[in-house]
């Protein structure tokens, strides 16, 4: 799979980032995070579905330290989740559905959101299953 070796390197850096999180200064955390971000971005551009999903996550509202993310960008989230969905990434379908359900970064489309949650559920994502059931019930009421 294209980008797999880069993605594996990124995962090693990611693990290191969390292992050292409480032991190093903020500047060092930022250096490690930037290394991770660069690797994940390269792998995503090469078409690795997990890297595409992980890159989309880097543009979500919270960053790796669970604080407000300066890289927050709904349009980039939607772009990368869509790319991962094109490769049947179950969790990406769930996360993309949330954008269409809320209308953040895109036009609100409840039918599309429900379809995306269903696809996520069909691919075995537990959150997708839960969200599909919830949304289906809400639309029936």
Per residue in 65-96, pLDDT tens? 555 678 889 999 999 999 999 999 999 999 99
Summarised one tens digit per residue, pLDDT across range 96-129 is 999 999 999 999 999 999 999 999 999 999 999 9
pTM value? 0.91
Which residues lie across from 68 on neighbouring strands?
62
Element housing 137 (H / E) = helix 126-140
Q: What is the mean pLDDT of the chain?
A: 92
DSSP 8-state assignment for residue 103: T
- Nearest 5°: phi and psi at 62? -115, 145
Which pair of tokens denotes residue 107?
A: 């036009």
Distance CA 136, CA 130 (A): 10
User: How many whole angstroms from its chain centre is CA 109?
Assistant: 20
pLDDT band at 17; cut points 50, 70, 90: confident
Percent with pLDDT over 90 in the chain: 74
């Amino acid at each position: 799979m294209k980008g797999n070796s880069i993605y594996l390197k990124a995962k090693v850096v990611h693990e290191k980032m969390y292992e050292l999180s409480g032991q190093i200064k903020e500047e060092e955390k930022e250096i490690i995070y930037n290394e991770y971000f660069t690797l994940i971005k390269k792998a995503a551009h090469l078409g690795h579905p997990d890297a595409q999903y992980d890159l989309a996550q880097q543009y979500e509202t919270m960053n790796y330290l669970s604080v407000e993310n300066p890289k927050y960008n709904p349009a980039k989230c939607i772009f990368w989740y869509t790319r991962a969905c094109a490769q049947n990434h179950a969790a990406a379908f769930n996360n993309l559905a949330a954008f269409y359900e809320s209308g953040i970064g895109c036009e609100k489309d409840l039918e599309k959101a429900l379809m995306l949650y269903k696809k996520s559920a069909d691919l075995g994502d537990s959150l997708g299953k839960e969200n599909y059931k919830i949304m289906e019930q809400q639309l029936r009421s």
